[in-house]
Structure 1
Amino acid sequence: MPEIDGARLLARLGDGLKDVRGRLTPDAGMDKITWFRTGGPAELLFQPADEADLSAFLAALPEDVPVMVVGIGSNLLVRDGGIPGVVIRLSAKGFGQVERSGETTITAGAAAPDKRVAAVALEAGLGGFHFYHGIPGAIGGALRMNAGANGVETRERVCEVRAVDRRGDVHVLSNDEMGYSYRHSAAPGDLIFTSAVFEGFAAEPETIRAQMDEVQHHRETVQPIREKTGGSTFKNPPGTSAWKEVDRAGGRGLTVGGAQMSEMHCNFMINTGTATGHDLELLGETVRARVLETSGIRLEWEIKRLGRFAEGQGIEPFLGRG
């Protein structure tokens, strides 16, 4: 397995990227991006200037160079060995716009914070977006994982999505083509979402504000929002809640190294200050193994894990229990 070497990769790409307008950073520290504040470097981090720049970059990038996309890093765990190839992060300047684009529609760039979309909807008197006020992520991630909260999901608001594929071609997908299900989109994995159009409905600002306040109160009272966390660790299994199963299996407050399942909300992992990516993932798999043994339920990760393990590291799913 070749070592991660951003300078070498950048040199290999050479003149093929001479027209790129965005920012290229070799050996970029992912611990500065992820909310967990852990993880190894990205071999090459690319922040495109706009959709056309992203398209040109991907068209020029050799097919054998792996590409991964990250958002604001809120539900992301990067392994300690780093991420080989190119990591693409859409900038707020190029992809963070949010505007009312029709009587009941809002257009938002993929880098726009979910909370910003909720705020614009409030200003426009459009209901149905209050749930975004409580999701600590960006629209690109919400589109990919059908993010939801307080009984509402992204799929209920999406009209169409713009995306760029690995070859640099631009696509426009309908809601049906996104193939939404619980915390999942069936859209091809190589698509990088750049913007989307959402539809709401006319509502009184006072009603919307009250709903947003309720969302904020819920977050502040039951979630460890001031910790180094990645949000919900596991998806809710059918018929129950992930936190209930973690609690039943004795996972509340469980620690591995500097990683801990929150005492406040035991479906949240936190970095208490010294956690490595390995600590966090090992804790998660330990909890999954305990839940499997206690309840027979195979919890699925909601947090996205990227990259490779450091030399000598490795973690078997469910700690090898099948």
Structure 2
Amino acid sequence: MSDMPKVRGRLTPGRRLSELTWLRVGGPADWLFQPADLEDLSAFLRSLPGTVPVFPMGVGSNLIVRDGGLRAAVIRLGRGFNGVEIDGNRVTAGAAALDAHVARRAAEAGLDLTFLRTIPGSIGGAVRMNAGCYGSYTADVLVEVDAVTRRGELKTLRAADLQMAYRQSQLPEGWIITKAVLEAPKGDPEKLQTRMTEQLAKRDATQPTKDRSAGSTFRNPAGFSSTGRADDVHDLKAWKVIDAAGMRGARRGGARMSEMHSNFLINSGDATAADLEGLGEEVRKKVYDSSGITLEWEIMRIGEKLISD
């Protein structure tokens, strides 16, 4: 397409997204744009033809890109969008800042965002998916976000505007989160560091962190905490119903369900996106047949399948 906007960042046609996702699968995006800064991003979106869809991509930790690729301009924020600033009990983090880095920086300042330490991905994705663990969620600490609209306008949205719920939020199509303001409870830096060290040890002992995965594959079946909200702190876990359906260690092509934690979908080395998504769908069917429960994907699946799939 010859009428793509001029940019100061990097605009790459036909970029294979398999190189940018944790599962290492996926065909090419029509375009990959890595903006130099906020003004570059805003100008690009303002000038981009309205017929070109936009897809914001973080570090690709929670994503299956299908083998046929993506007919869109994929926007991936990097330097210029990964700063972390602390003022009192507020942490302002760029959307590209890694969750783990934000947790560490906050802990050093005596602020408790420890739940972010073991979450793979960046702050933009954490907001988009209302990421959480250990009973804490991004929604619990989020004050506001800055975003650029599909037309290139800068907007500030309060947390309530995003209507955050279990593993989801509402953000208008094509909007790109650029930074988030979080308000964290205070804590003792040493104790916070100790807690994060323990969390990491527990994660490494119970999850296949050395395998090629995208984190939890399915949301825990809807349960409710004492606050009355859908939560993942309840007895009905996705891995339990997967085990009950006999799908721990199940395989399809190069894809398998982890023997260590059966809610982790693994690329054993040569899986296609079709293998991974197909195995996931097979797990969903077996779980439904076994328990009557319909598992919902936690991993986002985007793009086009190959005709042969």
TM-score of the pair, normalised by structure 1: 0.90
- Contact residue 248 and residue 257 of structure 2 kept, 8 A: yes
Question: 106-115 vs 198-207, which deviates more?
Answer: 198-207
1:84 and 2:71 correspond: yes
1:108 to 79, 93, 100: 93
Aligned residues: 297
- Contact residue 69 and residue 89 of structure 1 kept, 8 A: yes
1: CA distance, partners of 2:259 / 2:3: 48
Corresponding residue for residue 302 of structure 2: 306
Corresponding residue for residue 252 of structure 2: 256
Corresponding residue for residue 166 of structure 1: 150
1:183 to 164, 167, 177: 167
* AA of the residue aligned to 1:289: K
Question: 287-296 vs 210-219, which deviates more?
Answer: 210-219
Corresponding residue for residue 105 of structure 2: 120
Q: How far has the Cα of 1:61 moved from its partner? A: 0.5
2:82 to 96, 103, 122: 96
2: CA distance, partners of 1:50 / 1:215: 34
Q: Which sections of structure 1, spanning at least 5 residues, go unmatched? A: 1-8, 314-322
Q: How far has the Cα of 1:201 moved from its partner? A: 2.1
- The equivalences for 1:1-322 within 5 A come to 9=1, 11-13=2-4, 17-18=5-6, 20-91=7-78, 93-100=79-86, 102-127=87-112, 129-239=113-223, 240-313=236-309
Q: How far has the Cα of 1:222 moved from its partner? A: 0.7
- Partner of 2:180, secondary structure, is strand
1: CA distance, partners of 2:220 / 2:174: 26
Q: How far has the Cα of 1:137 moved from its partner? A: 0.6
CA displacement, residues 226-264 of structure 1 (integer Å, 9 cap, x when unaligned): 111000000111231111111111110000000000000
* AA of the residue aligned to 1:227: D
Q: How far has the Cα of 1:302 moved from its partner? A: 0.5
- Contact residue 53 and residue 174 of structure 2 kept, 8 A: no
2: CA distance, partners of 1:28 / 1:257: 25
- Contact residue 56 and residue 76 of structure 2 kept, 8 A: yes
1: CA distance, partners of 2:154 / 2:206: 41
2: CA distance, partners of 1:248 / 1:165: 44
CA displacement, residues 203-223 of structure 1 (integer Å, 9 cap, x when unaligned): 111221121012101210111
- Contact residue 150 and residue 173 of structure 2 kept, 8 A: no
CA displacement, residues 74-114 of structure 1 (integer Å, 9 cap, x when unaligned): 111010001112111111x11111121x2101100000000
* AA of the residue aligned to 2:72: G
- Contact residue 56 and residue 174 of structure 2 kept, 8 A: no
Taking only the aligned residue pairs, the percentage that are identical comes to 51
- Partner of 2:116, secondary structure, is helix
Corresponding residue for residue 6 of structure 1: none
More helix by share: 1
Q: Which sections of structure 2, spanning at least 5 residues, go unmatched? A: 224-235
Q: How far has the Cα of 1:188 moved from its partner? A: 2.0
- Contact residue 24 and residue 45 of structure 1 kept, 8 A: yes
2: CA distance, partners of 1:280 / 1:181: 26
Q: How far has the Cα of 1:311 moved from its partner? A: 1.8
1: CA distance, partners of 2:308 / 2:186: 56
- Contact residue 150 and residue 215 of structure 1 kept, 8 A: no
Corresponding residue for residue 5 of structure 1: none
CA displacement, residues 121-174 of structure 1 (integer Å, 9 cap, x when unaligned): 1111112x0011100110010000000011110001111100111111111111
C-alpha RMSD over aligned residues:
1.0
1: CA distance, partners of 2:149 / 2:292: 39
Structure 1 moving runs of 4+ over 6 Å: none
1: CA distance, partners of 2:47 / 2:104: 38
Question: 204-213 vs 152-161, which deviates more?
Answer: 204-213
* AA of the residue aligned to 1:108: A
